[in-house]
Amino acid sequence: MKNICVFCSASNGLDESYYTEAEKMGELIAKNGFNLVYGGSSLGIMGRISKAAKENGAKIIGVIPEKLSELCKHSDSNIYDEYHVTKDMRERKAKMDELSDGLIVLPGGFGTLEEVSEMIVQKILGYNNKPIVFLNTNHFYDNLFEFFEQIILEKFAQTRASYYYYLAQTPEEVIGYLKNYIPNELPKTLDDIYVKN
């Protein structure tokens, strides 16, 4: 495992604790020998985690759709070791998936939720077997994980789906999960994917 994809917010104006935790995460990504694949923005959590990872020696790979690339007009383009511009958001997700060996999800909005949801579904269906770990800064993902539990409890997903992602409380726990990750068994039958009557 070498390249770690991070999904997170590009919003400014968040509570400072989100940025502080992102910087710690970026530092630990670099110091543990990982490279960073991320959404290519210099704004918000994206900007803080990429800068911290770069300052601590990580290779930085940005992936951004044309529309956002034109709007952002990054002033710190020297941060990237690789910079990929994609046609749209769907192509961006595919490129980030292609370039990465594991996934960290920091706090984010609708874009972050959409991105990680697709990765979880891909894992459920057996298209990937990468670690997916959420960083629960300020208990940001508590309610989402309660919803995940409801999805499983009401049989919209197999119980085994809960083993396809992990909720970490600290950046250190995130790194520990990645380093000790044991790939899940891929589905072999429809019964491994869908809940039976």
Distance in angstroms (rounded) separating the CA atoms of residues 185 and 81: 34
**Structure pTM?**
0.94
State the average pLDDT over residues 10-19: 96
Of 12-21, 30-39, 68-77, 104-113, the poorest mean pLDDT is in 68-77
Domain count of the fold of the chain: 1
Domain that holds residue 97: 3-192
Q: Per-residue pLDDT for 86 more than 90?
A: yes
Mean pLDDT score across all residues of the chain: 93
State the average pLDDT over residues 119-135: 95
Q: What is the band of 76 on the pLDDT scale with cuts at 50, 70, 90?
A: low
Q: Mind listing the pLDDT tens digit for each residue in 143-152?
A: 999 999 999 9
Q: How far is CA 56 from the centre of its chain?
A: 20
- 111, 116, 118, 122: CA torsion to nearest 10: 160
Q: Per-residue pLDDT for 124 more than 90?
A: yes
Asked if residue 197 belongs to a domain, the reply is no
Supply the DSSP string of 74-117, one letter for each residue.
Answer: -S-GGG-SEEEEESSHHHHHHHHHHH-SEEEE-S--HHHHHHHH
- Whichever domain contains 177, its CATH number is 3.40.50.450
State the average pLDDT over residues 113-132: 95
> Over the range 126-138, which residues count as b (16 or more CB within 10 Å of their CB) and which as e?
eebebbbbbbbbe
Q: Per-residue pLDDT for 121 more than 70?
A: yes
Asked if residue 154 belongs to a domain, the reply is yes
Q: Per-residue pLDDT for 197 more than 70?
A: no
